[in-house]
Amino acid sequence: MTSFGAVLAYAAKYVTKAESKSQAYDEVLQTILDKSDASDRVQGVYLKLLQTLITERDFSAQEVCHLLHGLKMHHSTCSYISVLLSPRPSLPLDFENATREFKTLREKYSSRPEGLEDLPYITFLRRYDLHSYRVHGANPEHANAAKERVTIMYPILHPDPENEDTYPLFCYAKLLLHFPWKLGDAWLEDEDCWVEKWTKWSENCELLDDGLPSLEQSRTDDQDGEDDEDDLEDLTQEEGLNPRADWQLEALLGPNR
Helix residue ranges, H only, 56-166: 61-68, 105-110, 121-127
Check: CB of residue 122 under 8 Å from CB of residue 175. no
Between 10 and 56, whose confidence is greater?
10
**Mean pLDDT value across residues 122-142:** 75
C-alpha 246/C-alpha 219 separation (Å) is 27
Span 153-177, mean pLDDT?
Answer: 89
Q: Burial letters for 206-226: b for 16+ Cβ neighbours within 10 Å, e otherwise? A: eeeebebeeeeebeeeeeeee
What is the per-residue pLDDT for 173?
A: 93
**Model confidence band, residue 249 (pLDDT cutoffs 50, 70, 90):** low
Strand partners, 154: 84
pLDDT confidence of residue 5: 82
Confidence of residue 243 (pLDDT cuts 50, 70, 90): low
Structural contact between residues 173 and 85, judged by C-beta atoms closer than 8 angstroms: yes
Please give the Cα distance from 75 to 66 (Å, whole number). 13
The yes-or-no verdict on residue 169 having pLDDT over 60 is: yes
pTM for the full predicted model = 0.57
> Of 41-45, 142-146, 212-216, 243-247, which range is least confident?
142-146
For residues 257 and 77, which has the higher predicted lDDT (pLDDT)?
77
C-alpha neighbours within 13 Å on the C-beta side of residue 107? 10
Q: Is the pLDDT of residue 100 over 60?
A: no
Mean pLDDT computed over 131-142: 65
Confidence of residue 45 (pLDDT cuts 50, 70, 90): confident
Rounded mean pLDDT of the chain? 76
